[in-house]
Chains A and B, each alone.
Chain A
Amino acid sequence: MRISVEQRLRRPRWLTVAVPFGSVVFAFLVAAVVLVVTGHDPVSTYRQLFDAAFLEKQSIDQTLIVATPLAFMGLAAAAAFRMKLYNIGAEGQMYLGAITGAAAGLYFGGRGGPAPFPIAAMVVAGMLGGLAWALIPGILRAFFRTNEILTSLLLNYVAGLLLTYLIFESESYWRQTKGFNATVFPTGKPLPPNAVWPGWTLHVQGGTTIPLGAFFGVGAAVVLWILYRLTRFGFEARVLGDSPRAARYAGVRMRRKILAVMAVSGAIAGLGGASQVGDFSHALDGDPNGLQKIGYGYTGIVVAALGRYNPFAVVLIAFLLGGLENAGNALQGPSFPAGLVGVIQGIILFSALGGEILSRHRIRITRKTTHDTAAPARAPEPAA
């Protein structure tokens, strides 16, 4: 018997939906095996997981808190990965966006004035912060051909150290220095009320607040879709991703495009950082066991790859994986296995990757007949 993999001439449409869906189902099945082997009951564990993610009172409210940053991180990764620029620094770019966004909120909020102005300043500052941090690997890649995967990743560690430094190791502008608590445990200075981002509360599940950042996330998805689908810039970026040589012959300016794509990616991640501060923490979170431990930027890569870099799919998957992640956080404790959510995410991504071959190739199982075995098994292929 021989298993051969051959390329499909046409990719059936249903497979583009079936592969991600099947990946998720497969991942849960494999993770169930892991659970059984390590002595947990998969049925009750999964029920706990889904209840905490989507069904319990206020669970969607909590899920949105995770899904919002994940959507930003997923979009940031998708924007770069689509051009085969592997920016895995969304994590650090988010920290920088949080730092600059918080600075703008503290400064402009403190000067009074109506709410839209400090919030707008935070959005702009956050985007600029993320953009600037993303341009470091961008410039190194464009002008020195330095591997952007490594530089962007290593800069995440530097950004994390910077974040911790601003709150824990210095008397910076971001740190709360007044009051009793400040002397006990270092924290970030809280945003003035007019710099706190408003949410839109729905009366479902006992009150579900849709944060302002979630709307910005959907807006970013729309902008990204238009940018990549309907503009010359997006077309050139896609060509450059699929075939750099073709792009060069067509006169696409490589360096400029790398810088622009990194800037877009970093700006989205930075906006995610500003939303972290404005929507949720309302102060810069420098705790090494806080924002930095969650690793939204890395999960964002899973989100982007599962959504096949399509902005709208990314937003949808951010919501679903956000639920999973939220449940993982909520259930953390002796009765619920830690790290399970990362395991499930990893398997989902593996199976989505493996599933890619199903949509691009056809797998054929042919039984060797006596006639076949007589022929040389490894006959050289005719030269193409």
Chain B
Amino acid sequence: MNNSLLVVLVASGVTYGTPLLFAALGELLAERSGVLNLGVEGMMLVGAVMGFWTVERVHANAGLTLALAIVVGAVAGTAMAAIHAFLVVTLRANQIVSGLALTIFAGAVGLSSYLGNNLNLADIPATHSFHALLPKGMQNLPVVGPILFGQNILVYVSWLCVIAVGLYLSRTRPGLNVRAVGESPAAADTMGINVTAYRYAHTLVGGAFAGVAGASITLAITPQWVDGITGGAGWIAIALVIFSFWRPELCLVGAYFFGALQSLAPQLQARNISLGPTVLWTNSLPYVMTIVVLVVVSSGTARRRLGAPSALGVPYVREEH
């Protein structure tokens, strides 16, 4: 029963969806404060390479090394986000172009590749990687075993993050302040909220999440380093924020859906099932489905603009409001 296609797909959807979830949560926080960061792919790659580097260089027990690797990935992602934050918050540069610049700077042919080559990380397996956390007995339970209990610790941490971000945005004073900054920075400023500080903080935290997302790819899903290993996951994460109407709990659902789509092609191939005419079709399914869902969401809610922060992408200049 646990080998049935559906169970395997859902279980691997959770596994593959976890990096997407981390990255989307980070982007969601940044966007809620009004900063659009299109550099997710680049931040993820730098987090991925630095996390992998930590595991290769630090010689401690597996748990400690992996925890440190996640921290290093988060710091690397934060450092990348700091460039974007400085450009768009302080210098009020165009957020779209700056985010694209970050992806080019940090991305598959930029800093992440430079670091990967310079630190000799290519083509070696990871010394440590994340494995299923819970005892075998629980993992073998029908249906829920592989889906809920067969996951690594990052999956459970991501659930805590979803709850934390959800509570933060709806139940805490700073969380409500972020929403004010994202919706109407001028009003927030009048209330005495420091718009610049909030935007910086949330862009940086967004970068940290993206870094963790990247590290979770190189340490849990495919434990190795290859240039451009994220393969567009950063972009799918940005799309996820739109699908989820800027809500963390819906991010989780979306991330697992796209995670399952990503594992669909290899799973079907392994079972000799051909869906549609060709390999081309199954491989491009995650991208095509992202576009389809994006169209449905944007056309249905375009008029109501459900969830999108009103000041998203707009720099705030006190004198001009």
Residues of A within 8 A of B (CB): 6, 34, 38, 81, 86, 88, 140, 143-147, 149-151, 153-155, 157-158, 161-162, 165, 169-170, 295, 298-299, 301-302, 305, 337-343, 345-347, 349-350, 353-354, 356-357, 380-381, 384
Contacts and interface: CB of A to CB of B under 8 A. Distances in A.
A342 B38 contact: no
B97 A353 contact: yes
A381 B319 contact: yes
Interface in B196-246: 227, 231-232, 235-236, 238-239, 242
B97 A339 contact: no
A349 B294 contact: no
Task: Give the size range of B's interface with the partner.
Answer: 35 or more
Interface of B: 38, 83, 87, 91-94, 96-98, 100-118, 190, 227, 231-232, 235-236, 238-239, 242, 278-280, 283-284, 287-288, 290-291, 294-295, 298-299, 302, 318-321
Contact of B94 (A34, A158, A353): A353
A350 B320 CA distance: 24
B295 A146 contact: yes
B47 to A, nearest CB: 16
A32 to B, nearest CB: 14
B243 to A, nearest CB: 11
B36 to A, nearest CB: 9
A295 B109 contact: yes
Contacts of B112: 339
Contacts, number: 159
Contact of B104 (A154, A170, A301): A301
26 contacts: A6-B319, A140-B291, A140-B294, A147-B242, A150-B291, A154-B232, A157-B284, A158-B284, A162-B284, A165-B279, A170-B278, A298-B100, A298-B109, A299-B104, A301-B97, A301-B100, A305-B101, A337-B117, A339-B114, A342-B105, A345-B105, A349-B97, A350-B101, A357-B93, A381-B318, A384-B320
B100 A88 contact: yes
A181 to B, nearest CB: 23
Given A158-B288, A169-B280, A345 B104 contact: yes
A346 B105 contact: yes
Given A146-B298, A147-B294, A165-B278, A342 B232 contact: no
Contacts of A143: 299
A145 B302 contact: yes
Nearest to A325: B109
A145 B114 contact: no
A149 to B, nearest CB: 7
A346 B107 CA distance: 9
A353 B102 CA distance: 12
B113 A339 contact: yes
Given A38-B118, A153-B235, A338-B113, A147 B298 contact: yes
Contacts of B103: 298
Contacts of B235: 150, 153-154
Chain A facing B: main interface SS? helix
Contacts of B109: 295, 298, 339, 341-342
A357 B190 contact: no
Contacts of A350: 83, 87, 98, 101-102, 105
Contacts of A34: 114
B110 A342 contact: yes
A321 to B, nearest CB: 11
* Ranked 6 nearest A-B pairs via Cβ: A346-B105, A342-B110, A339-B114, A339-B113, A144-B299, A349-B101
Contact of B110 (A81, A339, A354, A357): A339
Contacts of B231: 157
Contacts of B291: 140, 146, 150-151, 154-155
B87 A354 contact: yes
Contact of A353 (B38, B101, B302): B101
A123 to B, nearest CB: 27
Given A145-B299, A154-B232, A384-B321, A342 B284 contact: no
Contacts of A339: 109-117, 227
Given A86-B96, A165-B279, A337 B118 contact: yes
A167 to B, nearest CB: 12
A155 B242 CA distance: 18
A290 B236 CA distance: 24
B190 A346 contact: no
Contacts of B318: 381
A370 B45 CA distance: 49
Given A150-B242, A305-B101, A384-B320, 15 more contacts: A146-B294, A147-B298, A150-B238, A151-B295, A161-B284, A170-B278, A170-B280, A342-B107, A345-B110, A346-B102, A346-B110, A349-B97, A353-B101, A356-B94, A381-B319
B276 to A, nearest CB: 13
A342 B236 CA distance: 22
B172 to A, nearest CB: 24
A153 B117 CA distance: 26
Contacts of A302: 101, 104
B94 to A, nearest CB: 7
